[in-house]
Amino acid sequence: MFYIFGFILLTLAWQVSVCYRLRRGSLYKVAGQRMYIVSAVAVVCMLVYTVLPYTQIDKTAVGITCFWAVMVGAFCLLWAALITANIFSQAVYCNNWMDFRNGNLLAIMILPWGLIEIEKNMNKAKNGCLSIAEKVDIMFAEQTAKWPLAAQNYAALSDVKLRPIDMGGFTVYVQNNPGRRISTTAKIDKATISARKCFLCEENRPAEQKLIPWRNYDILVNPYPIFDPHLTIPCKDHKPQQIAEHFADMLALAVELPDWAVFYNGPKCGASAPDHFHFQAVKCERIPLIADYERLPLSEANGVKRIDNYLREILCIEGKEIADIEQRFGQLLQLMHKDSDEDYEPMMNLVCQYINGGWRLFVIPRAMYRPWQYSAEGDENIMISPGTIEMCGIMIAPRQEDYDRLSAEDVRSIYKQVSFSL
Ligand SMILES: [Zn+2]
């Protein structure tokens, strides 16, 4: 009996100390306070159970008190374990334990095991061993909890509607996302760009926006998301959107973010800040193009794969050597170059994924930015402004009416105009 109590008390003390250290470095203060209270109650109950039999109080009363003390103590222990699980899973996996998603709950409920896990992860964090992807998860949990703009816009995403449009053999989706209106209707002419403050420069960003530094970039939570989660990754320097000198970084970033698709909007085909170099990233499973690529028939020429009958040109370079991918991408650039590209690179969108030890680089050549429907008057007007996400199979419609009426014919027409076939 003595050993059991010793074990429980030691575990509790350990739990409290873990909690104390988590509190110092994280946001979970409220959970930490609750944890202190239940741990204290559990300790008191155990003490009552231990001490009461040695007192002169009536033995029946002692029995009843002991019974309840054990019940309350056990309940408190369980509760404390759940709270620890909550803090742990939020801090480390950014999941809510209510989701039962990470499957670690059972492990954590067996207290010492759970505590060992927490200790391991805290040491990792302390030694700076958290990967970029793990840091990104933690930043998301923090920003969507504490930054009202991000919290509101990510919460609103759960109401965003997604309608499939059957294109015969594959599906294109239309998403009704009013929050994207600013981006969809962004003016990117030189006069407008030079008249506004650059929203990607650090000095003009909202004070609440946190960053994870990586090479010469800042990894940020995109406060106007298309998907949950959605990252914007601007260069630290204010310099134009041109991929050439950043291409190797795109490949390296895809390695750092394994389940993410890192993408690039060319300055004249989707980037709403063409004056400030940036990537974006969303989770791979959100991108219909990636699922289609794995499922649909492909043809291959000169080491470049192509999805057949896909209504828009999608080329894919696969490889395990950076130099090899750079060389094949360079060859594609030459083919895409048009006389009108004097000051700029060829119009294109890029999507990069790192999978099974190799890269997949999707190159999406573009003929124009916006289809004629964008500037049409009256009923023919469609407010859709194709960037990478649209080319990947999700049409973002900020207006409800476009969401309601966009047809397969419209999608075909839009792709036909904005895609460039090699
Ligand atoms: Zn800037």
CA of 188 to the centre of ligand 1 (A): 14
268 to each of 67, 243, 341, 379, how far by Cα in Å?
74, 12, 10, 26
- Do you know the residue count of the chain? 422
Q: Do residues 213 and 203 touch, judged by C-beta distance below 8 A? A: no
CA of 31 to the centre of ligand 1 (A): 39
CA of 143 to the centre of ligand 1 (A): 22
CA of 67 to the centre of ligand 1 (A): 67
Burial of 54 (0-12, 13-18, 19+ CB in 10 A): exposed
Q: Do residues 32 and 22 touch, judged by C-beta distance below 8 A? A: yes
In the chain, the amino acid numbered 403 is: Y
Quote the CA–CA distance of 277 and 352 in Å, as a whole number.
Answer: 16
CA of 408 to the centre of ligand 1 (A): 38
Whether the pTM exceeds 0.75: the reply is no
CA of 323 to the centre of ligand 1 (A): 30
Q: Do residues 419 and 313 touch, judged by C-beta distance below 8 A? A: yes
CA of 178 to the centre of ligand 1 (A): 25
CA of 198 to the centre of ligand 1 (A): 4
According to the model, what pLDDT value does residue 98 have?
37
CA of 276 to the centre of ligand 1 (A): 5
CA of 192 to the centre of ligand 1 (A): 14
CA of 251 to the centre of ligand 1 (A): 23
Residues 6+ apart with CB under 8 A from 182: 224, 272
Domains of the chain as residue ranges with CATH: 2-130 (no CATH), 136-418 (3.30.428.70)
CA of 200 to the centre of ligand 1 (A): 5
Q: Which residues of 180-218 are buried (b: 16+ CB within 10 A; e: fewer)?
A: beebbebebeeeebeeeebebeeeebeeebbbbebeebb
Beta bridge partners of 349: 265, 364
Per-residue model confidence as pLDDT tens digits over 48-61:
777 777 777 776 77
CA of 22 to the centre of ligand 1 (A): 36
CA of 239 to the centre of ligand 1 (A): 7
According to the model, what pLDDT value does residue 35 have?
60
CA of 154 to the centre of ligand 1 (A): 24
CA of 238 to the centre of ligand 1 (A): 4
Q: Do residues 337 and 346 touch, judged by C-beta distance below 8 A? A: yes
Burial of 342 (0-12, 13-18, 19+ CB in 10 A): exposed
Place of tokens 């742990």: 88
CA of 41 to the centre of ligand 1 (A): 54
CA of 400 to the centre of ligand 1 (A): 32
Per-residue model confidence as pLDDT tens digits over 4-49:
667 667 766 776 666 665 554 443 444 455 566 666 777 777 777 7
CA of 153 to the centre of ligand 1 (A): 23
CB atoms within 10 A of CB 96: 13
Q: Do residues 26 and 130 touch, judged by C-beta distance below 8 A? A: no
| pLDDT tens per residue across all 422 residues of the chain | 666 667 667 766 776 666 665 554 443 444 455 566 666 777 777 777 777 777 777 767 777 777 777 777 777 666 666 666 555 555 544 444 333 334 444 444 455 555 666 666 666 655 566 788 988 988 888 888 889 999 999 999 988 999 999 999 999 999 999 888 888 888 888 888 888 999 999 999 999 998 998 999 999 999 999 999 999 999 999 999 999 999 999 999 999 999 999 999 999 998 889 999 999 999 999 999 999 999 999 999 988 999 999 999 999 999 999 999 999 999 999 888 876 666 678 999 999 999 999 999 999 999 999 999 999 999 999 999 999 999 999 999 999 999 999 999 999 999 999 999 98
Quote the CA–CA distance of 349 and 364 in Å, as a whole number.
Answer: 5
CA of 362 to the centre of ligand 1 (A): 26
According to the model, what pLDDT value does residue 53 have?
72
Q: Where on the phi/psi map is residue 97: left (φ > 0), alpha (ψ -120 to 50), or beta?
A: alpha
Q: Which residues of 127-161 are buried (b: 16+ CB within 10 A; e: fewer)?
A: eeebebebbbbbbbbbbbeebeebeebbeebeebe
Q: Residue 179's closest CA among 399, 410, 416?
A: 399
CA of 204 to the centre of ligand 1 (A): 8
